Chain A
């Protein structure tokens, strides 16, 4: 299944685009997606940290992903 991933802040610079698509298998998790992305974009692993949001909520690594999910990479936030 194809998962669309939104990118913000420095993640957008790392991907070179405001969003990308990755191919995942059914039953794969946020953790699996992180490993895949870090293999493809090594700068992602060198950030202070980053979170993943699924459908506008912070998601832990165990969360299963589905094709309809809105997934976003959340690098360290710096509002205020």
Chain B
């Protein structure tokens, strides 16, 4: 089972975890992204997330499908936020269940690392004294 969601509403972390739990799983691995209050010494006020929605969903599906093929997993949940997020809020939740923990840990890491490289979602950091699209310029 693969469950992909792109939403402008808060992500329900417990619901994400419940969705991947299954009697045949020996464990669940979870990655929760959170908005950090500082970048390179500058105080962050909030983040604005923007997505190319149809492509973002299709790229998130591709990542989950590749993970399913690569490792013996039971279920994958991948939820990502769009819109404005305050410090401490949760832009992304990944939950993976598997019979054995090695597969769950490895797949969870693969999913977040690949998401950050290929999924068309952008964040703008809003500082006290300016704003910047993350990674856009050298």
B137 CB contact (under 8 Å) in A6, A10, A53, A77: A10
Tell me which of A10, A48, A56 contacts B54 (CB under 8 A).
Answer: A56
Interface on chain A toward B: helix, strand, loop, or mixed SS?
loop
What chain A residues lie within 8 Å of B120 (beta carbons)? 8, 53, 72, 74, 77, 79
The answer to whether residues A78 and B121 also contact, given A9-B133, A9-B136, A10-B137 and a CB cut-off of 8 A, is: yes
| Count of A interface residues, CB-CB < 8 Å | 20
| Contact surface of A with B, Cβ cutoff 8 Å | 6, 8-10, 13, 46-48, 53, 56-58, 72, 74-80
* A75 and B117 alpha carbons, distance in the complex (Å): 11
A8 to chain B, nearest CB (A): 5
* Pick from B54, B56, B112, B135: contact of A78, CB under 8 Å: B135
Contact for A53 among B33, B52, B115, B123, CB less than 8 A: B52
Cα–Cα distance between A46 and B119 once the two chains are bound (Å): 22
Q: Are A10 and B52 also in contact (CB < 8 A) when A77-B116, A77-B119 are?
A: no
